[in-house]
Amino acid sequence: MNITIGFSPCPNDTFMFDALIHKKIDTRGITFVPVIEDVQELNLRCLAHELDVSKISYHAFSKVYKDYAMCTSGSALGKGVGPLLISKKDYTTDQLSQLSVAIPGIHTTAAFLLDYAFPKIHEKHEMIFYEIESAILSGTVDTGVIIHENRFTYEQRGLHKILDLGTYWEEKTKLPIPLGGICINRNNDPKLQSTVNSLLRESVEYAFSHPDSSKDYVRQYAQEMEAEIVNKHINTYVNPYSLDIGKEGKEAVLRMFQEIFGKKVEEDEIFVTN
């Protein structure tokens, strides 16, 4: 049985799902066919219901949770791992409503966190995440929200932080930042949903137990990234929440949904039931 699975080329995803894709674990007769795209492209493909299983920003997931269920393994959550609002010039937070800002996709959690911290910012420009630093430096935009490995490199290019949007969320909610997770189409049989959820956990467990096993796969998609940055990326975004989102992680997702919808959404409406 073939199932499509979308995830990003970023080291955290290739590290976690190498065992699943290359059958280093028993996949129980399922062949996972990878669809490797930027997370915003994956968001759009989920919105179009094109993939069986996929990485998705939790912000985008709020728009499709009635069609997709969220798995409890494979997520990117944490503390101190959120997107950063950066600029070349010194701006005060009071000036931000008058400035232009680049975002890595309107459906990303980064875009949600920007709105959460600065609801009066209106001039937003969608860009691929790795183009944002250059757009700020060239003056195409005044500011930008960076994600992924750019949080480790922006200072080297003469840019500085206006606000850590993740820290702002943490201070306000006392919860980790729900960045992205792995969802599965609800058209699949509930037993299959549960099986996929279990296999995701086994793949992450394998990655933790055999950290060198995925090196070739990670390097295949991170050829231009320095080894130190690759390791920082994995160590930042792969953590115990990736193995099991847990009670606190679920609370963070539910809080985000409450902020988005202005009302409570129940846990069993969101997550795969084992």
Question: What is the set of active-site residues?
Answer: 148
Q: How many CA atoms lie within 13 A of 220 on its CB side?
A: 12
- The closest alpha carbon to 54, from 66, 77, 37, 29, belongs to 37
- Cβ proximity of 104 and 40 under 8 Å: yes
Render the burial of 130-169: b for 16+ CB within 10 Å, e for the rest: eebbebbeeeebbbbbbbbbbbbbbeeeebeebbbbbbbb
- Cβ proximity of 213 and 24 under 8 Å: yes
End-to-end Cα, the chain, rounded Å: 20
Phi and psi for 164 in degrees, rounded to 5? -85, 105
- The closest alpha carbon to 103, from 64, 51, 46, 59, belongs to 59
- The closest alpha carbon to 217, from 30, 1, 34, 25, belongs to 34
- Is 81 in a helix, a strand, or coil? coil
Q: How many CA atoms lie within 13 A of 132 on its CB side?
A: 31
- Cβ proximity of 100 and 145 under 8 Å: no
- Is 165 in a helix, a strand, or coil? helix
